[in-house]
Structure 1
Amino acid sequence: MASTDQPVDELVAEAVGRVLAAPAGGLEFVVDGAASGLAASVERWPAVSRALLAFAERSVGRCWAAGWRPADLVRVARRELGPVQVALAVDLIAAESRRHPAAALDRRWREQLRELEAEQWWPSDEAFLGEFASRHRLDRFALATAALELLRVWALLPPVTPVGSVPGQSAPRAGAPRADEPRMLGRIRALLAKAESTDFPDEAEALTAKAQELMARHSIDEALLSASGGPSADDPGAIRIGVDNPYEGPKTMLLDAVAAANRCRVVWAKEFGFCTVIGFDADLDAVELLYTSLLVQATAAMHRAGSRKHKDGAARTKAFRQSFLVAYAARIRERLADATERATEDAAAGRPVHGEDGGADGVRLPAPGGGLLPVLAARAEAVEDAVGRMFPKLVSQRVRVSDGEGWVEGRAAADRASLHRGSGRIER
């Protein structure tokens, strides 16, 4: 039992320690007792707020050192807990981020913080818990409970393979993305946003096809720039992309199709709800953008098809939707492979790489003396080597199709989707 004279820092550390040591069977009882100790005194609540933020900053820093990144920690909170803990996770990440100047964060790290809206909004650390409780209509006990549950989940995370530099440390040799988003990505992002917002399928297809064309050409430009000794990232890197239930298997197949078309590889960590994509920087950007857009299209098409009845009048089932998405991913793989092959043939033949501007940023890039194909082959080998170093033990996993009608409709929907591009397998 905590004494009223006990320093608040010790009180917080003791409460979290008890929760971490609790067996799963008696966890609820231990959490209740620890939360009661933290929330017992309204007078000490501001001091608890300051101490809890300080403790959480250290906990988050340990997660960074273990290979986790901001979006990962929020995804874990969403999968394991509830909306209050998700909001709290964002704020605790924002609190830890105050320790690092922007220059100490790589581009994708900064993008994740921006997308999460992880920034300090509370006036002081002493006021944080009180302000958070007001925002979310919580009493002290409920908030202390949520904080302890979140810190326990984060503390029990195992180390994962890093996919970038840790704030404040030098970037690793492989996978250091450029400091700023390439200009081409802005154009691609705008095209995909228009494709997702339009009510006209033909317009969406044309916009997405144009975006895919720019992605393929940008990737080739980056390969040539690197081969010619230009200022391009010359080692493969990696990113993580969340893949959540339902239908996580078919969604991973779709991601793998997009990744393979962009000369990347995918490794699925099913237990954590994410995939690691390994490839060169420009290709990783393309994968993330196109997968997100195609997933929106696939989900919308699945819901439209699922709202109808089977030919025998029965309601469509989970098996139908699973088969629909598997077929959609398989057909997208074929279409993307064709588009990538065409773009590569055009570039190898010396036809213009960027129809409007020439090469990267308006500069036409000639192929090196040995030609484009050896450059691309060398990059593919580098990606394979990176996969082997990062994940020395991998197994393949099959995804079953159990509804023929779902398969047919999924392929038809993929034919109506917007794109162009490889082939690969899901690995874990």
Structure 2
Amino acid sequence: MRVPGLAGGVGARLYARWVSSDKMLSRIGGLLRQAESTDNPHEADAFLAAAQRLATSSSIDLAVARSHTAAKERRATPVQRLITIGETGKKGLRTYAQLFIAIAAANDVQCDITANSTVIYAYGFADDIDVCEALYSSLLVQMVRASDAYLREGTYRNETTVRTVVEERGGRRVRTRVRKPVAAVTARLNFQSAFAARIGARLTEAKQEIEREVETSTPGTALVLRGKSLELQDFYRSTSEARGSWRGNRAPSARSADARRAGDRAGRAARLGTAPELPSAPRRLER
């Protein structure tokens, strides 16, 4: 069953997980696992109490739930995966990376990125990273096609933007700010940056909406999700070797309001699922 608005993302998988035939055993086993793995006695009590309530209401023995989960999952753990955005020297990779990071943020995946935006190190559970790669493959094609179509229309040429010009005057360099027509590269960057931002907002909104629905129908989900988040944070802190911060998520220095509006509209209209004409997820490279 597909969940409208997320097309295979985190919300859809959560929903499918809870409506499966063995959902109760899995839920109880997950709560027990969290109770046994946390060092916080208050959290452990909360997880155990939630598991006991579900077990009592469903007439399921806690030992059965624990063994079921252990046999089924064999304890899935976070992984690190290398995602190649593009080759060194290729222009325009910053907005490509921005798109992947926006998708990752809505799918419980943390990212480190190289300074030249060519490679992303994704940290998360394998299923979540798979979703990110599939969405990225589809949405990148849509973003590039939409920005190319926008540039062909040429409406950005009616805008001007302020640029800094350096001139030699009397033996010294003088910087002046002048108005120039918006360049095609400026329009493209603004369009794609706005597209990526809108996609991130749409995915996050859809995820939050479905998580609220699942929590309402199956109390205790929030505890399990929090446990998953804490495990990912611990894995990231112990694995990441990143230094400094990536600056590619900032808005382009030269602005085009027309391009940003057009990119936002295209992001709102983009399909969040996959289509037959779109490529499959890129080949995964393990570090």
Aligned counterparts of 2:17 and 2:115: Cα–Cα separation in 1? 32
CA-to-aligned-CA distance 1:66-97 (integer Å, 9 cap, x gap): xxxxxxxxxxxxxxxxxxxxxxxxxxxxxxxx
* Deviation at residue 273 of structure 1 after TM alignment: 2.1
* Deviation at residue 375 of structure 1 after TM alignment: 1.0
Aligned counterparts of 1:248 and 1:272: Cα–Cα separation in 2? 6
1:211 aligns with 2:7: yes
Unaligned runs of 5+ in 2: 32-65, 160-180, 274-287
Please give the residue correspondences for 1:55-94 in structure 2 after superposition, counting only pairs within 5 Å: none
Aligned to 2:84: 242
Aligned counterparts of 1:257 and 1:417: Cα–Cα separation in 2? 14
1:290 aligns with 2:123: no
1:413 aligns with 2:266: yes
Aligned counterparts of 1:380 and 1:266: Cα–Cα separation in 2? 14
Residue among 234, 238, 241 paired with 1:389:
238
- Residue 211 of structure 1 aligns to a residue whose secondary structure is coil
Instruction: Indicate conservation of the 8 Å contact 1:308/1:315, yes or no.
Output: no
Larger Rg computed on CA atoms: 1
Aligned to 2:200: 333
Aligned to 1:345: 212
Q: Which amino acid aligns with 2:197?
A: A
Q: Which amino acid aligns with 1:403?
A: R
- Residue 7 of structure 2 aligns to a residue whose secondary structure is helix
Please give the residue correspondences for 1:14-413 in structure 2 after superposition, counting only pairs within 5 Å: 209=5, 211-212=7-8, 215-219=10-14, 225=26, 227=30, 229=66, 230=69, 231-232=72-73, 233-244=75-86, 245-270=90-115, 273-309=118-154, 310-312=156-158, 316-350=183-217, 371-398=220-247, 399-401=250-252, 402-404=254-256, 405-413=258-266
* Deviation at residue 311 of structure 1 after TM alignment: 4.8
- Would the alpha carbon gap of residues 227 and 221 (structure 1) be closer, same or farther in structure 2, given more than 3 Å must change? farther
- Would the alpha carbon gap of residues 219 and 259 (structure 1) be closer, same or farther in structure 2, given more than 3 Å must change? farther
* Deviation at residue 419 of structure 1 after TM alignment: 2.8
Instruction: Indicate conservation of the 8 Å contact 2:198/2:267, yes or no.
Output: yes
* Deviation at residue 372 of structure 1 after TM alignment: 0.6
* Deviation at residue 271 of structure 1 after TM alignment: 5.1
Aligned counterparts of 1:384 and 1:268: Cα–Cα separation in 2? 17
* Deviation at residue 246 of structure 1 after TM alignment: 2.6
Q: Which amino acid aligns with 1:259?
A: A
**TM-score calculated relative to the size of structure 2:** 0.61
How many residues align structurally?
A: 197
Aligned counterparts of 1:287 and 1:321: Cα–Cα separation in 2? 23
CA RMSD, aligned part only? 2.9
Instruction: Indicate conservation of the 8 Å contact 1:324/1:410, yes or no.
Output: yes
* Deviation at residue 267 of structure 1 after TM alignment: 0.9
Aligned counterparts of 1:210 and 1:258: Cα–Cα separation in 2? 11
- Residue 266 of structure 1 aligns to a residue whose secondary structure is strand
Q: After the TM superposition, which segments of 4 or more aligned residues of structure 1 sit over 3 Å from their partners? A: 219-226, 313-316
Instruction: Indicate conservation of the 8 Å contact 1:266/1:277, yes or no.
Output: yes
Unaligned runs of 5+ in 1: 1-183, 189-205, 351-365, 421-428
Bigger helix share: 1
Q: Which amino acid aligns with 1:327?
A: A
- Residue 245 of structure 2 aligns to a residue whose secondary structure is coil
- Residue 267 of structure 1 aligns to a residue whose secondary structure is strand
Bigger strand share: 2
Instruction: Indicate conservation of the 8 Å contact 1:216/1:340, yes or no.
Output: yes
